[in-house]
Structure 1
Amino acid sequence: MESQYTKKKSFIINAVYVLLIALIVYVALKYVFNLISPFLFAFGIAYLLKGPAKCISSLLKIPTKWVSVILVVLFYSTIGVLISLVGVKLISTATTIISELPTIYESQLEPFLINSFHGIENAVSGLAPTFINMFNEGFDQFVNTLGVNVTNLSLSLVGAISNIASSLPAFFIKILIMIISTFFIAMDYDILSKFMLRQFSPKGRKIILSIKQYMVNTLFVVIRSYALIMSITFMELFIGLSIIGIKNAILIALTVALFDILPVLGTGGIMIPWTLINFFQGNFETGIGLLILYIFITVIRNIIEPKIVGSQLGLHPVVTLFCLFLGANLFGVIGLFGFPITLSLLKHLNDAGTIRIFK
């Protein structure tokens, strides 16, 4: 009897322990990460530039600090120019498309709906006049409501872009803090890293160094895995678009493959609107081709992603799929990458005997 009670008590304690850890991780990712993210990214960038800085310093006999400063300037200058060019083009294109939604509705979607209605009306012309009148009134109301909704959607999207623009000052402050922090961390990376390690016990330092080494290797593995997935998606798109007869198939395939990595947009963020526009314009063959291509890519992506990412991280495909789904829904892009990596790290530490979480 006592043994049964002890087992139940142990189970409850372990369950509460796991829930507390999960709660701490959730709060840390949801709130704390947002506060310290500029410094974390700065530390990561400084770590990436540490190796090249030491190599150049030894070759040119220049102090490592000054080489680090030059590399940080070059890094942020290159990234800044690329983001500025791409960002301005994307924002201007998105704003133009959104502002033209009502015009697209009036010139293409509404005539398509009216022609479809006339076809249905001719098909049911032999029915009772009362039914036909009700059908006419319902259709008119549907078209008017749809037109109002399209206009409201356009205004809402423009408002969303305005809200994003209004939040840019806070975003730029974070970027500025990250850039300044990168300079200071890159100049004294060894001093700062050794200071932080000294705050832990020998066992704690061993765990931290093990986590660091594993995370660096795992990030490389994840990047390589998603690069492979994007390459497969690009080839599928290029071949499919070429068969359909779309011009500039290579450029379009590359753009859609890049969007495919984002959990919110994905392939459907481009392919579904593109398919609908072709249907509204009467290009049924192209629309059906795009729809079939989108379904094919989505099915293949859902099959290969858990397999490729899971095999690289040492996780079962079902576990990987669960982590991808849960992470994307809870934390977006960060969760999409972070959840599988975190679980892989915990499995690695558990297998190595560093910690004991599961059997």
Structure 2
Amino acid sequence: MEEEDSKIPRILEQDGHGGSDLKEVSESKKKKKKYWMGCLRAESDERGNIDLTVDFPGERSEPTHLLVMVNGLIGSAQNWRFAAKQMLKKYPQDLLVHCDKRNHSTQTFDGVDVMGGRLAEEVRSVIKRHPSLQKISFVGHSLGGLIARYAVACLYEQESRQELPQNSDDISDTCLKERIGGLEPVFFITSATPHLGSRGHKQVPLFSGSYTLERLATRMSWCLGKTGKHLFLADGDDGKPPLLLRMVSDRRNLKFISALRCFKRRIAYANTSFDHLVGWSTSSIRRRSELPKLQRGPVNEKYPHIVNVEAPSTSSNHEEVRSVTNSNGSKNFDMEEEMIRELTKMSWERIDVSFRGTVQRFLAHNTIQASVH
């Protein structure tokens, strides 16, 4: 992908049509070809997983960059129909888009670990089918961002570079190359993802900041299966820390942080308002005291929904915040603080989005998925 460092993390206006869905794309192989910067080509394996590429008349391009798109709770690959089309339109020659197929509908209740393992297996099968692939990126919406974080830990590898002669003074090539599924990691992008879980105060705007409703939701998290317990940090009954807390450090078999850190860029899109399911703080990996004051109007006329852009940065250690929290006896915030501290030891680009003043604001949580690319 040419100039890939600057082109992917942008937000597009919806064209009002939502793009052709994946089923229509697949059926295009049987019907007359539709040319649009070339022709969309859909391939599926025995499990129904769909890979999308672009073919040009008279030639068959071999994709080099795999983009994995992961849906959220009760979602499906169909949710990515518009974004996938726009991605392929932008990078028609070297991009292969794969939309997660195995984690959909009620299967999204199976737990972040189970779904992450399934996604990792799915990605391996895609890579095996396309030996020309060299790079890999992930885009996850909502819960899909957490699934992707788990999957990349499963796919994380270290490759030893070729050893130098013993008399060589150059030790630079003795380092390890980090790979995700054997490919070079480039982008890790999330939109409206509850990186800090949904248990903390005001992390689910639907509850309007009511401690009573937040506690009740935690107790009722089992209604969403194992996934609900993971999101509300209610899965620590076996003596282990909650899964999301474990996912902010390298474990014996799963290098969660090393895998995330090896991506060239990490970008977190977050709704500043009107997202009733995922709060601004948890989706942007910030403390509430760190949420920026927004200026009036967009920061980019071409992308009017972007209201704030923060360059890659790491966070300082907020021990003062943590000590004040302890005095109030808030265990939930302690876990939240730990996740923030560990996740922000690596740099993140933050792009804050607002659909205020548009009809789209009422579905902000889903709108950001259809618009991000």
TM-score using structure 2 length: 0.21
* Structure (1/2) with the larger strand percentage: 2
Larger radius of gyration: 1
